[in-house]
Amino acid sequence: MSFAVSFPVMLRTKDGVRIDAAHTPSRGPGDLCVVLAHGFTGAWRERTSRRIAHVFSGFGGVVAFDFRGHGRSGGHSTVGDEEVLDVDAAVRHARTLGYARVAVVGFSMGAAVAVRHAALHGGVDAVVSVSGPGRWYYRGTVPMRRVHWAMEQRLGRAAARLVKGTRIRSTGWDPVPLAPYEAAPLVSPTPLLVVHGDSDAFFPIDHAHQIYDAATEPKELWIEEGYGHAESAATPDLIRRIGRWVSASVVAP
């Protein structure tokens, strides 16, 4: 499969972190942009992310980026806290490119950041949380116990750096950031779509319900039968359906 051409750019956050990003021009409407926020240990150059960006480009332009501590971006990952500044830099870049309508679509950790960014910073026209956690410190599945080991143990952080190229800050959270379900009611009046699979091995569907139940209108919840977790399990059909929802939900200024 050949992907739409992307144009790399280096952004800088308000706290001075370099963020590696890329703009994929729209193959559809010219005024809509999707900001694509990847999951923990992901990167915009990975094939799964590029495939998703290609599908979304049929609905509008796409700005994809590497979170701090990931890929070619600078800094260290704070696993969902200061990453709101990375999303903010990507949204500002989309506006600079001339896009009048901007939606943020986040996967897993990126979903948590997307919801928190919309609540704390605003400036977006729609938010989509895909496979996102509703709350912090969840250890109820084997994959999430492995994630916590990678975040909390020195050996785990070293393994994440060597195997995935992800650099994780060792100091942890102080204070604990606003959880996604706590941020959800602050997203309104921006439209919020919560997407979750009933076969997610990381977060059971009660996380999706926790976000959705806490949010206020306008909001929508999709529980996808047979869908696993985040980017790797997302089919082109699901991405196209999200793209159509974004196109219909984002009102032109």
Instruction: Examine residue 53 and state whether it is found in any structural domain, yes or no.
Output: yes
Domain span holding position 36 = 7-136+178-249
Output b/e per residue, 110-125; b: 16+ Cβ within 10 A.
Answer: bbbbbbbbbbeeeebb
Instruction: Examine residue 166 and state whether it is found in any structural domain, yes or no.
Output: no
- In sequence order, what are the beta bridge partners of 61? 33
Instruction: Examine residue 150 and state whether it is found in any structural domain, yes or no.
Output: no
Structurally, how many domains does the chain consist of?
Answer: 1
Residue 66 to residue 50: CA distance in whole angstroms? 12
**Which residues have a Cβ under 8 Å from the Cβ of 68 and sit 6 or more positions away?**
13, 17, 19, 74, 75, 76, 77, 78, 82, 83, 86
Q: Determine the 3-state secondary structure of 28 from DSSP.
A: coil
Q: What is the pLDDT of residues 93-148, one digit of tens each?
A: 999 999 999 999 999 999 999 999 999 999 999 999 999 999 999 999 999 999 99
Q: What is the pTM of this model?
A: 0.97
Instruction: Examine residue 158 and state whether it is found in any structural domain, yes or no.
Output: no
CATH number at residue 44: 3.40.50.1820
Q: What is the pLDDT of residues 192-246, one digit of tens each?
A: 999 999 999 999 999 999 999 999 999 999 999 999 999 999 999 999 999 999 9
Residue 193's closest CA among 135, 250, 142?
250
